[in-house]
Amino acid sequence: MLRRTFLWVLGATLFVSQWLCPLSASAYEPIHRIDTRHKVVALTFDDGPDPVYTPLILETLHKNHVPATFFVLGSQVDKYPKVMQWIEKAGHEIGNHGYHHYDLNKLTEQEVYDEIKQTEKSILRTTGILAQHYRPPGGVITHDVMNAVQTSGYDIIHWSVDPRDWSLARTSAAIVNSVKKNVNSGDIVLFHDGGLNQKQTLAALQQLITDLRSQGYRFVTVSELLDEFDSNG
């Protein structure tokens, strides 16, 4: 109770200070991972929904009872609403990845904000869900991006393990080995279910789930990972 009271007061103080002063670059940082004593890891998928690979990835996750977080593009949501609804009905978490996957270095704060809000509307219209987390395309973080995301009311979610599955030169074995070599408790792993040919990601997924479980890891969504941090005190 005392901790929650402290956090409430701290949050109120930060809100007032940000209202009185311009947002600084250090005031709103992306979340890469969380510190936890428990062996939990969050699998995330970007750039979908894809009509071919998203359903196949969903099938593998369902078969293994693994929850994941999908950071979707609004343009893809509007193209493939049924696939988007499959993600939601399967019980996975949905995050906002912007609408067009633009290079955010070239966008103004207003344009970034519009990208986020347009995708928010697409997700809400298709699934009835208001996403809580935003992942900037390419992981780009600028002052304008941070301002736009904070104004939108989202957390910025990055990643701590990137097996580079977006590269067509990566084999499934390379993807598996990259994750196993670098993963630790509290990590957020970056995969893709859209944007490219994701055959190697799909081939790697089952082996990774099996191998990580054998090491004692439990799979959670990004929100569950953040709750894990809160429960650790």
List residues with catalytic annotation: 46, 192
Helices 199-214 and 53-63, interaxial angle, to 10°?
20
Question: Is the preceding peptide bond at 49 cis, omega within 30 degrees of 0?
Answer: yes
Cβ pair 85, 127 in contact under 8 A: yes
Task: Give the C-alpha separation, 222 to 3, whole Å.
Answer: 22
DSSP H or E segment with residue 60: helix 53-63
Q: Where are the alpha helices (DSSP H) in 128-182?
A: 143-152, 172-182
Check: CB of residue 176 under 8 Å from CB of residue 30. Answer: no
